[in-house]
């Protein structure tokens, strides 16, 4: 079936190091949304990208949408303990009402 693949599953970083998660789709996406879920919490919306090649920044977070609208990435510069959580990408493929979600990348800060 239609899938959104997200890698890596986990990333361990020292505080202050950078973090990147990647999403790849088997088909062209109409949009891509990114969410953050803290441990024990619910997904919280971060951003939506719609245009081919789009890049958006939120402070230390940089989001990209590929030219072919089949891949996306989230990069966090100089991670902080508040960044801990699982980052999900989700996109629309066929139905305007369905978000297809990646499995998430868990950001773990090494003590």
Partner 1 sequence: GAGVSQSPRYKVAKRGQDVALRCDPISGHVSLFWYQQALGQGPEFLTYFQNEAQLDKSGLPSDRFFAERPEGSVSTLKIQRTQQEDSAVYLCASSPIGDAYNEQFFGPGTRLTVL
Minimum distance from CB of 89 to partner 1 (Å)?
9
Task: Tell me whether residue 30 or residue 80 sits nearer to partner 1 (CB atom).
Answer: 30
Minimum distance from CB of 42 to partner 1 (Å)?
4
Structure tokens at 32: 């891509």
Task: Tell me whether residue 44 or residue 68 sits nearer to partner 1 (CB atom).
Answer: 44
Structure tokens at 12: 């361990």
- The 3-state DSSP composition of the chain as helix, strand, coil percent (nearest 5) reads 5, 55, 45
Minimum distance from CB of 78 to partner 1 (Å)?
26
* Residue 106, burial from CB neighbour count under 10 angstroms (0-12, 13-18, 19+): middle
Minimum distance from CB of 98 to partner 1 (Å)?
5
Task: Tell me whether residue 31 or residue 79 sits nearer to partner 1 (CB atom).
Answer: 31
Rule CB under 8 A: which residues touch partner 1?
6, 30-31, 33, 41-45, 48, 50, 88, 90, 92, 95-104
What is the four-CA torsion angle of 26, 29, 31, 32, rounded to 10 degrees?
Answer: 10
């Amino acid at each position: 079936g239609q899938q959104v693949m997200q890698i890596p599953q986990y990333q361990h970083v020292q505080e202050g190091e950078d973090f990147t998660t990647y999403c790849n789709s088997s088909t062209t996406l109409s949009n891509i949304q990114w969410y953050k879920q803290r441990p024990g919490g619910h997904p919280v919306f971060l951003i939506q990208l719609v245009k081919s090649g789009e890049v958006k920044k939120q402070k230390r977070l940089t989001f990209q949408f590929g030219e072919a609208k089949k891949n996306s990435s989230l990069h966090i510069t100089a991670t902080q303990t508040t960044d801990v959580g699982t980052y999900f990408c989700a996109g629309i493929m066929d139905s305007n009402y369905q978000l297809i979600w990646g499995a998430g990348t868990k950001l773990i800060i090494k003590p």
